[in-house]
Amino acid sequence: MKIIKDWKLFLETNKVKYGDNENIQYLLGYDNENNSYLVDDYPYGFRLRTQIRYWIETTNRGDRFCSQTKNPKTGRWNKPKKSTYSLLGFIYLDGNKHTHWKGVNIYTTPDEVNSLIQDIGGESKLKPQQLNQLKQFRGEKVEVKTTGGKVKPPYTIRFMKNYKKTEIIECILKFNRPDKVEIREIIEALKKTNQKKLEEVWQNDGIVRITTNGGGQLGIVTKDTYDEYKNLEE
């Protein structure tokens, strides 16, 4: 861990224009508690000062921003605070040398993503898992592996029952990528699932929901839409 007492010192930065012509600096390479961006003289309560450290946690679910303060009374680190997952995440300093982060999600446009990647210094600055997330965002098919090294299937399907556990009222089709799912892929996935359960969802006025990795909601599929596209495929 590198203690930053002089704000001009940090592992790797790129000066760029951001927002209203404000100079910001991206902080890359900080990816865990022991390899974090450490700030001194951080306010703790009303009177005390302490240290705080920041890093980006990268998993198969994406990136999330983490921060952790040290209890000045005990000298121990408090429990880390972690954001929700984004497809990609980066720490940066604003013009006042305050620490922030920005994330890429399913609502970020391709032009915005490309601009951001260029700002941080190109794709070579990304970790392998981050590069996979970027490729998936762009619609490229990438093998997603579990922590045990097994290749994840391209999608999963779950059927949900009502609170009485008597009727199936929802089908959730989740693709293991952040975006760029074609209607053909959706129909093919639904055709391979249990058709009796699928029909039961619609008979009970339930919902067939299409989602993506990272919490993206692509929409729902009605029985009429399914029958129409299924017949076209056949």
Q: Is the pLDDT reported for residue 172 higher than 90? A: yes
The edge-to-edge listing of strands for the beta sheet with 22-27 is: 15-18, 22-27, 88-93, 99-104
Residue 180 pLDDT class (50, 70, 90 cuts): low
Each residue's pLDDT tens digit, 61-109: 789 999 999 999 999 999 999 998 888 999 999 988 899 999 887 778 8
Please compute the mean of the pLDDT values over residues 178-190 and round it to a whole number: 82
12 within domain boundaries: yes
Domain boundary among 137, 170, 193: 137
> Is pLDDT of 155 > 80?
yes
Band of residue 147 on the pLDDT scale cut at 50, 70, 90: low
Flag whether the pTM goes above 0.85: no
Q: What is the pLDDT of residue 13?
A: 38
**Residue 6's pLDDT is what?**
39
Task: Answer yes or no: is 147 within a domain.
Answer: no
Segment 124-135 shows an average pLDDT of 89
Residue 145 falls within a domain, yes or no? no
pLDDT tier, 234 (very low <50, low <70, confident <90, very high otherwise):
low
Let me know whether 60 and 95 are in one domain: yes
Is the same domain home to 161 and 85? no
- Tokens coding 232: 């076209």
Average pLDDT, the chain: 84
Q: What is the pLDDT of residue 182?
A: 77
Residue 126 has pLDDT above 70, yes or no: yes
Q: Is residue 143 part of a domain?
A: no
pLDDT class of 233 with cuts at 50, 70, 90? low
Find the domain containing 27 and state its range. Answer: 2-137
> Where residue 4 falls among pLDDT bands split at 50, 70, 90?
very low
Is a pLDDT exceeding 70 seen at residue 22? no
Q: With beta carbons less than 8 A apart as the criterion, state whether 170 and 190 touch.
A: no
For residues 79 and 25, membership in a common domain is answered with yes
pLDDT at 21 exceeding the cut of 50 = no
Q: For residue 214, what pLDDT band results from cuts at 50, 70 and 90?
A: low
Question: How many domains does the chain contain in total?
Answer: 2
Residue 48 forms part of a structural domain: yes
